[in-house]
Amino acid sequence: MSILEAIILGVIQGLTEFLPVSSSGHIELGKAVLNVELNDPLLFSIVVHAATALSTIVIFRMDIWMLIRMFFEPRLWNAGRQYILYIAISMIPAGLVGLFYKSEIENFFDGNILLVGFMLLVTAMLLFMTTKIKREKGKIGFASSLLIGVIQAVAILPGISRSGATISTALMLGVSRSRAARFSFLMVIPLILGATLLDVKDYIELQQAGLATADTVEPVALIAGFIAAFVSGLFACNWMIQLVKKSKLQYFALYCLVAGIVAIAFSI
């Protein structure tokens, strides 16, 4: 993988991690269009996901600091314990799927462009449904956080946008747009960090078994991919928050519809 290819894939990861168009699906499409075969896809995945996790932490640093204070300061605990609990609840479905079905999930990420195409159509449908929402004044609750978590687990499939699916679900449950966007991005931070740590563990085990070597991907390409994913992630996260508030998700629905049809046609 060249430095330019790493930058392109890093930008794709950074933008699509937050925009409602599916990062995993677009990475697969990007590799197919660029005809890139990663000798060490796990290592590159670790790097770009760590970059997008860092960009999320930077954007929501004040919210994260507030939640940490609420957790450790008794006088603030009552104010924040429910929100922390809801984030923990939302993590359970995806955490269980990732923990017990990791190898099965990885089989979906093997250039299956046809699957990506159909899942992009699912994403388009979810985003179109948000245009019909009337009530948007609700808050996150126990049931809604669990359902949003289930949808996040389903969005592990390449082609289904995690942010698009979770925000759409929250909106359809009556959650306000600003709360839906904030919860969607905060709930994924622990999962991204946890998944990254698991990937690091797997990569170390592969190295010890002699099945992966550190020099299969050029360090400069990894650094370029990291920077590209981080910078584009900062931009996309801020942009997505504004788009949700302004009810502009239907444009991404059209994009996912067209991209899905193109992907299906490309794979046939």
Spans of all domains in the chain? 3-267
138: three-class secondary structure by DSSP: strand
Closest of 158, 187, 182 to residue 84, by C-alpha: 187
Q: Lowest-confidence range among 19-28, 66-75, 154-163, 210-219?
A: 210-219
In this predicted structure, the answer to whether residue 136 has a pLDDT above a threshold of 80 is: no
- Which amino acid, one-letter code, is at 246? K
Alpha-carbon distance of 196 to 203, in angstroms, equals: 10
Closest of 51, 15, 27, 60 to residue 232, by C-alpha: 15
The Cα angle at residue 142 between residues 137 and 145, in degrees rounded to 5: 75
Q: Lowest-confidence range among 27-31, 64-68, 83-87, 126-130?
A: 27-31
Which residues lie across from 138 on neighbouring strands? Answer: 175
175: three-class secondary structure by DSSP: strand
Alpha-carbon distance of 17 to 35, in angstroms, equals: 21
Tell me how far apart the 2 most distant CA atoms of the chain are, in Å: 60
Which residues lie across from 175 on neighbouring strands? Answer: 138
**Span 1-14, mean pLDDT?**
86
Contact 229, 30 (CB under 8 A): no
**Span 87-100, mean pLDDT?**
85
Closest of 54, 49, 57 to residue 12, by C-alpha: 49
Return all residues near 220 (Cβ < 8 A) that are at least 6 apart. 3
The pLDDT mean for the chain works out to 81
Confidence of residue 40 (pLDDT cuts 50, 70, 90): low
**Span 43-54, mean pLDDT?**
83
Query: Does the CA dihedral 34-38-41-44 come out positive or negative?
Result: negative
Alpha-carbon distance of 189 to 195, in angstroms, equals: 10
Alpha-carbon distance of 72 to 62, in angstroms, equals: 16
Q: pLDDT digits over 197-239, tens only?
A: 877 777 777 677 665 554 456 778 888 989 999 999 999 888 8
